[in-house]
């Protein structure tokens, strides 16, 4: 049996008729960028998240960089972010000329709130919380520090569509929640897409201006903006998927629960589940001291696995200029050296998962 790390075709085939019908309707409509589908999706996604406003964008990275841009964060400013995130979180900060200040992760792969306050300086302007792998970060200490020091709070929810902390949906704790709809995300489009959510009308209005060359009225440009518009086809297809989010998230949770209860091998560290956090299990991430041998073993048995992420941002070539080296963030580095994401996707069969579980339990 072959089990791939992800099967995006399965997520399509499940609702194939609805997707095809919608695609055809959009193609025939003559409206292709920023039209009725985008407007409807923005309303529906805002309601899903429990935020007042949603603004559709071209990608998750755009959501992050435009979020910091609109909050007025740039050269000379510092933004605190966990050291073990996907590099796009950090790029959202540095594209604006601001400096990322890294914090080690906690045992749930989120920012370690115990280490947060000591990283705040006079130049700190914001905290970027990443709800990595679909599990919400611990939020009270973060929101309390933001109040105490007058900091902005941005959430990177690219992996946490619908995930909650204390019953509140991620993306609604701070000033701006940033989402990606890259095809492999839990709420995935069939191409690139992104959005921000916010409860502040001014932020939503600014974002609408920035995403469209800085213009509110055609050919009257207020600021130097971006071309970051969500297109009608993606918005329409996202609306179809959004209607099935409960089912899709339920699948992720059932698959994760099955891994949690059936995996039994002392060489593997299973993911910790944070109290009061309701994960949507974007990834199911284990750790193994002999990861390379494990990956080879799995691949010899026809099972694909992926490392999220092998190089922490502070060690990537792109961020050499920050001046960090090996040992700067030992925990983030240890995770990078040992984490492994197991196959988990909408449409994964019980047979496929049992095969992965049995194979893993026999690894010695």
- List residues binding ligand PLP (CB under 6 A): 59-61, 85-86, 88-89, 130, 156, 158-159, 180, 182, 192, 194
Between 343 and 357, name the residue whose CB sits nearer to ligand PLP: 343
CB of 151 vs ligand PLP, minimal distance in Å: 20
Q: Which residue is nearest to ligand PLP (CB)?
A: 60
CB of 30 vs ligand PLP, minimal distance in Å: 27
Between 68 and 355, name the residue whose CB sits nearer to ligand PLP: 68
> CB 293: neighbour CB atoms within 10 A?
12
Say how far apart CA 164 and CA 48 lie, in whole Å: 12
Between 169 and 180, name the residue whose CB sits nearer to ligand PLP: 180
Between 239 and 308, name the residue whose CB sits nearer to ligand PLP: 308
Say how far apart CA 225 and CA 157 lie, in whole Å: 23
CB of 317 vs ligand PLP, minimal distance in Å: 19
Q: Would you say 282 and 133 are in contact if contact means Cβ atoms under 8 Å apart?
A: yes
Say how far apart CA 57 and CA 42 lie, in whole Å: 10
Rounded to the nearest angstrom, the gap between the alpha carbon of residue 296 and the centroid of all alpha carbons in its chain is 28
At residue 54, φ and ψ (nearest 5 deg) are -135, 140
CB of 59 vs ligand PLP, minimal distance in Å: 4
List CB contacts of 340: < 8 A, sequence separation 6 or more.
285, 286, 287, 288, 291, 294, 295, 305, 306, 307
Strand order, beta sheet including 176-180: 53-57, 194-198, 176-180, 152-156, 124-130, 78-82, 99-103
CB of 200 vs ligand PLP, minimal distance in Å: 22
CB of 183 vs ligand PLP, minimal distance in Å: 9
Token pair, residue 198, equals 């916010």
Between 193 and 357, name the residue whose CB sits nearer to ligand PLP: 193
Between 134 and 236, name the residue whose CB sits nearer to ligand PLP: 134
């Amino acid at each position: 049996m072959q089990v791939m790390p992800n099967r995006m075709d399965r997520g399509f085939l499940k609702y194939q008729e609805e997707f095809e019908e919608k695609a055809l309707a959009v193609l025939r409509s003559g409206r292709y960028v920023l039209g009725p589908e985008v407007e409807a999706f923005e309303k529906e996604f805002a309601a899903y998240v429990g935020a007042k406003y949603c603004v559709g964008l071209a990608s998750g990275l755009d959501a992050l960089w435009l979020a910091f841009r609109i909050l007025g964060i740039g050269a000379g400013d510092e933004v605190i972010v966990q050291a073990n995130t996907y590099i796009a979180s950090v790029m959202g900060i540095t594209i604006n000329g601001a400096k990322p200040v890294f914090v080690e992760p906690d045992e749930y792969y989120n920012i370690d709130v115990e280490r947060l306050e000591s990283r705040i300086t006079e130049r700190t302007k914001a905290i970027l919380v990443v709800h990595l792998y679909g599990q919400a970060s611990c939020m009270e200490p973060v929101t309390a520090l933001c109040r105490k020091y007058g900091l902005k709070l941005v959430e990177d929810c690219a992996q946490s569509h619908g995930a909650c902390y204390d019953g509140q949906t991620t993306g609604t704790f701070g000033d701006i929640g940033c989402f990606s709809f890259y095809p492999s995300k839990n709420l995935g489009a069939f191409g690139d897409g992104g959005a921000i959510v916010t409860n502040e009308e001014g932020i939503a209005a600014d974002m609408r201006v920035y995403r469209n060359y800085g213009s509110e009225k055609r050919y009257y440009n207020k600021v130097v903006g971006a071309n970051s518009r969500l297109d009608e086809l993606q918005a329409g297809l996202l609306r179809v998927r959004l209607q099935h989010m409960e089912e899709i998230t339920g699948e992720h949770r059932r698959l994760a629960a099955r891994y949690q209860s059936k995996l039994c091998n002392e060489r593997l560290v299973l993911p910790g589940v944070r109290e009061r956090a309701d994960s949507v299990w974007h990834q199911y991430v284990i750790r193994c001291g002999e990861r390379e041998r494990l990956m080879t073993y799995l691949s010899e048995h026809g099972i694909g696995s992926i490392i999220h992420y092998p190089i922490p941002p502070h060690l990537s070539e792109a961020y050499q200029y920050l001046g960090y080296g090996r040992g700067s963030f030992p925990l983030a580095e240890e995770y990078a050296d040992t984490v492994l994401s197991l196959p988990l996707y909408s449409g994964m069969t019980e047979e496929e998962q049992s095969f992965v579980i049995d194979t893993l339990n026999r690894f010695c």
